[in-house]
Amino acid sequence: MYQIIDGKKISQEIRDELREKAAALKEQGKTFTLAVIQVGNDPASSVYVNNKKNACAYVGIESLVYQRKEDTSQEELLELIGELNENPQVGGILVQLPLPEHIDSDRVLMAISPDKDVDGFHPVNVGNVSIGRPGFVSCTPAGVIQLLKRSGIAIEGKECVVLGRSNIVGKPMAMLLLRENGTVTVCHSRTKNLKEITRRADILVVAVGKPKFVTADYVKEGAVVIDVGIHRNADNKLCGDVDFDSVAPHTSAITPVPGGVGPMTVAMLMYNCVEGRSV
Ligand code: NAP
């Protein structure tokens, strides 16, 4: 029988721990304010921004939401980030992605001061994490590490395969597994003999961005499978990058979608806000 890794429960545990920590810090006069910038009215982005606002309220940190119109220029956005960088009341700045097409997302993300980059996307933070220095860690991969640790799954010495090499999931995921002393292989769209490699994994993290891409023939018997993917099908039901029903019986532990990695991302954003820069 396989274990279902419960991201809802683990993310709630983390939020509760952070709530206590934030309350203790408040008593010492230390508070934190997160600035969240949303450009346009993309409904999914609005849901994410609201989730972040609610999480801040639960944990006990301030949130300021800057709602800007779809036609906001890149210069206006950079100006706002510049002001927030200078504002000593603001501890963290987050720009909700995706941005409208006329805005260069990379330029915007790089304008955020690395000291306030709670999403961990700035090259300075990415670099710091890679070389083992303190820095904000990208929230989704940090959440995967917490899911593994808090489910009693050891990473050290394990064959870890990451399927996907995006800057926000695959690459930082590989760095974090390496930091935990896993033996890490990263696969991508040019990888040859993909199934041969994924079948070597003791821990397989899937961030391929394709619904139900990973089927049972990609997975070694007894492996741990972490599904980062999130997709909504025609019936408005959520599914991941892993075909859960066919894969789960071959695993020792697996994350469901929804209720696996998804809830961890906001919990780790709260972690970055309360605990600050961490390795
Ligand atoms: P992405 O930027 O589209 O990256 C997908 C990666 O998969 C790329 O590295 C790509 O390779 C690789 N890939 C695509 N097709 C492949 C194939 N046939 N064989 C092998 N590799 C292939 O996606 P992402 O931003 O990392 O996100 C991945 C998934 O996670 C998405 O479903 C996304 O919605 C979800 N997500 C969830 C959360 C959360 O909070 N739960 C957060 C972020 C993302 P190349 O580099 O060669 O193109």
- Report strand pairing: 238-239 vs 92-95: unpaired
Is position 21 within any domain? no
Is position 236 within any domain? yes
Q: Which of these three, 65, 80, 114, is where a domain ends?
A: 114
CATH number of the domain enclosing 38: 3.40.50.10860
Question: Running DSSP on this structure, what letter comes out for residue 137?
Answer: P
The pLDDT assigned to 46 comes to: 96
The pLDDT assigned to 236 comes to: 87
Query: For 192-203, what is the mean pLDDT?
Result: 98
Number of domains present in the structure of the chain: 2
CATH number of the domain enclosing 173: 3.40.50.720
Of 104, 171, 181, 100, the C-alpha closest to 140 is 171
The pLDDT assigned to 279 comes to: 38
Do residues 143 and 255 both lie within one domain? yes
Domain limits for position 41: 30-114
Q: What is the pLDDT of residues 225-256, one digit of tens each?
A: 999 999 998 888 999 999 999 999 999 999 99
Do residues 167 and 251 both lie within one domain? yes
Q: Active-site residue 158, yes or no? A: no
Do residues 105 and 182 both lie within one domain? no
Q: What is the pLDDT of residues 252-269, one digit of tens each?
A: 999 999 999 999 999 999
Which mutation among 188, 270, 271 tests ligand 1's pocket best, with the greatest number of atoms within 8 A of CB? 188
Is position 77 within any domain? yes
The pLDDT assigned to 117 comes to: 97
Cβ neighbors of 39 (< 8 A, separation 6 or more) are: 68, 69, 70, 72, 77, 95, 96, 99, 100, 103
Pocket of ligand 1 (CB under 6 A): 140, 163-166, 168-170, 187-191, 194, 207-210, 228-231, 241, 261-262, 265
90 Cα to the center of ligand 1, angstroms:
32
Do residues 75 and 160 both lie within one domain? no
The pLDDT assigned to 136 comes to: 95
Specify the DSSP element, H or E, that contains 186.
strand 183-187
